[in-house]
Chain A
Amino acid sequence: AQKVTQAQTEISVVEKEDVTLDCVYETRDTTYYLFWYKQPPSGELVFLIRRNSFDEQNEISGRYSWNFQKSTSSFNFTITASQVVDSAVYFCALSEAETNAGKSTFGDGTTLTVKP
């Protein structure tokens, strides 16, 4: 069965600090997809990134970067020089390609608070 663990329930940082949000996943499939979503206080889910299991290249998008390590089943998300607008709940999610017909399993989320 697929499972996503976000061990950090809440993180608080001061603006301009770097912060890393951890995500560890479990799956039996060899083909799967990992995602990060941002949920601001308004409640919608904002897609941030998708990574498939065959692409272990790390990705950088502005202040955001992602580190995918299959060996440790982790897909961590780093925000560099955090800003107050980064305050939100961040969810990591897993979708298996071979089973479960595209169902996404979400972690419990990490609430990030960036203080000015």
Chain B
Amino acid sequence: EPEVTQTPSHQVTQMGQEVILRCVPISNHLYFYWYRQILGQKVEFLVSFYNNEISEKSEIFDDQFSVERPDGSNFTLKIRSTKLEDSAMYFCASSQRGYGEAFFGQGTRLTVV
């Protein structure tokens, strides 16, 4: 069964460093998303991406965040200068259409120290 794959599963980084979280969406999907879950809290929408551009972003998705689809298969989330409060689980998701079921990856746990 096709699935969304995220790497790495856990990343530890020093405050101020740049990190790139990687995702391989399901191959025939056209819509891509990043979500964040701070430990013990709910899953929050960060950004949606379609046709090589951001279609929507939340207030959390400020200038330190960026997304890219560098090739036909990967979808990345870059955090330019990490802060302690960026520590969270980051989920990538994809869907074939812009609604309906989005398939979530297993998540990347980011720890900023």
Residues of A with Cβ closer than 8 Å to B? 31-33, 35, 37, 43-45, 47, 50, 52, 91, 93, 95-97, 100-109
Q: Does B44 lie within 8 Å of A102, measured CB to CB?
A: no
Q: Does A101 lie within 8 Å of B50, measured CB to CB?
A: yes
Q: Does A102 lie within 8 Å of B48, measured CB to CB?
A: yes
**Which residues of the other chain, A, contact B106 by a CB distance below 8 angstroms?**
43-44
Q: Is the interface of B mostly helix, strand, loop or mixed?
A: strand
Binding stretch for chain A, among B12-20, B62-70, B72-80, B95-103: B95-103
**Which residues of the other chain, B, contact A93 by a CB distance below 8 angstroms?**
43
Q: Does A50 lie within 8 Å of B100, measured CB to CB?
A: yes
Number of A-B contacts (CB under 8 A): 69
Q: Does A102 lie within 8 Å of B107, measured CB to CB?
A: no
B: contact size bracket: 20 to 34
